[in-house]
Amino acid sequence: MIAPTIRGVGMYVPERVMTNADLERLVDTSDEWIASRTGIRARRIAADDETSSSMGVRAARCAIENAGLTPDDIDLVIVGTATPDYPFPATACLVQDALGIRGGAFDVEAGCTSFMYAMSAASSFVTSGMHSNVLVVGSEVLSRILDWTDRSTCVLFGDGAGAVVVSAGEHASFAPQFILGSDGSGGPSLCVPAGGSARPASDQTVADRMHFVKMAGPEVFRFATRVVEESTGQVLEKAGLTPGDIDLFIPHQANVRIIDHAVKRLHIPPDRVFLNIDRYGNTSSASIPIALFEAQQQGRLRPGDTIVTVGFGAGLTWGAGAIQWMANIASETESDVITDSELVSATGI
């Protein structure tokens, strides 16, 4: 069967590491509290001259090379981000221009679920035959919208970018499946209250710190534990799979306790769960593609493997995908296949 698949994957994270010990000097918190409640030990923070588009470009270059393609082969760019460079133009247009890609470009905004929404759109474009090689980027500079005096949010997030190229792959035994969901009634529990057309920026909104992330943590926690389990079950059923068929489960890296809860309830063996939250924190729409890249680099993904990804976040939104891993199948015979060490250096980590 010919079906859309991930042909290449890449990532970029900024150089600066902020540890829990660094946060202890900023707010009233402790490494013990953060690590035990979230699983996070460090996160990356973008340099002043880095943006969602500049980091997205670096992750995208890595993914395009990993796919054995060049920017000329890409015919659509989708960027998932909750921290676009500007309200408009779209960050995707900036990425498209920087890479010299000829083709359409648009952003998707579904909080931390943006990457899953973008993946599902890319898969549909490839299935319909409208596009051949879709670049999907998740990139975030969350450090710029965090209130660094609010210990309940600033310890959770980090900056980074991940990217994949979605193309038609041969020999798939099942077509990718996606589940997308939204419950807008939960919007106020995770939002940036000002800066949009409902509450334009003013001296008052700035004084009231309304341009920063506000979150009702326990509410979002309850929502997340429910939807990760439910949507993973639903996407498995849609694909005709069971938890035992999962070779690698890649959940959005927001809180290790949310992941543990779902994994136990779904009976997914812990050795089939990918975790890197300890090093990056919650990078929102970048978390799943960063995890995909690291899983590939660690040799945890083989052609034909069944991967299940699940995201959740502001909206409130959620999305799960069951995809057969085919990355690099097309490029394995090419002479210019990038080596592992070149890839690692391409990420800047």
Active site positions, annotated:
112, 252, 282
Q: Nearer to ligand ACO by C-beta: 152 or 205?
A: 152
CB of 262 to ligand ACO, least distance (A): 12
> Considering only residues 17, 35, 37, 132, which one is a binding residue for ligand ACO as defined by CB under 6 A?
37
Q: Does 184 bind ligand ACO (CB under 6 A)?
A: no
Distance, first Cα to last Cα, the chain? 37
Residues, the chain: 349
Q: Does 255 bind ligand ACO (CB under 6 A)?
A: yes
Window 307-346: residues binding ligand ACO (CB under 6 A): 313-314
Alpha carbon separation from 89 to 40, 86, 116, 213 (Å, rounded): 33, 6, 22, 22
> Considering only residues 29, 124, 127, 182, which one is a binding residue for ligand ACO as defined by CB under 6 A?
29
* Phi, psi dihedral angles at 285 (to 5 degrees): -70, -10
Q: Nearer to ligand ACO by C-beta: 285 or 347?
A: 285
d(CA 84, CA 62): 20
SS3 for 307?
strand
CB of 144 to ligand ACO, least distance (A): 14
Distance of CA 348 to the CA centre of its chain: 18
> Considering only residues 16, 22, 31, 33, which one is a binding residue for ligand ACO as defined by CB under 6 A?
33
> Considering only residues 225, 282, 328, 347, which one is a binding residue for ligand ACO as defined by CB under 6 A?
282
Q: Nearer to ligand ACO by C-beta: 174 or 221?
A: 221
SS3 for 267?
coil
The residue among 14, 4, 78 whose CA lies nearest residue 44 is: 14
Q: Does 31 bind ligand ACO (CB under 6 A)?
A: no
> Considering only residues 98, 145, 186, 221, which one is a binding residue for ligand ACO as defined by CB under 6 A?
221
* In the complex, residue closest to ligand ACO by CB: 313
d(CA 248, CA 263): 12
Instruction: For 148-210, give the DSSP string.
Output: TT-HHHHTTB--EEEEEEEEEESS-SS--EEEEEE-GGGGGGEE--SSSSSS---HHHHHTTT
> Considering only residues 184, 200, 218, 299, which one is a binding residue for ligand ACO as defined by CB under 6 A?
218
Q: Nearer to ligand ACO by C-beta: 200 or 218?
A: 218
CB of 158 to ligand ACO, least distance (A): 11
Q: Does 38 bind ligand ACO (CB under 6 A)?
A: yes
Q: Nearer to ligand ACO by C-beta: 124 or 152?
A: 152
Distance of CA 2 to the CA centre of its chain: 25
Window 51-70: residues binding ligand ACO (CB under 6 A): none
Beta bridge partners of 79: 107, 137
Window 104-123: residues binding ligand ACO (CB under 6 A): 111-112
Cβ contacts of 173 within 8 Å, gap of 6 or more: 1, 304, 324
CB of 257 to ligand ACO, least distance (A): 7
d(CA 319, CA 338): 31
Binding site residues, ligand ACO, CB under 6 A: 29, 33-34, 37-38, 111-112, 151-152, 155, 190, 215, 217-218, 220-221, 224, 254-255, 282, 284, 313-314
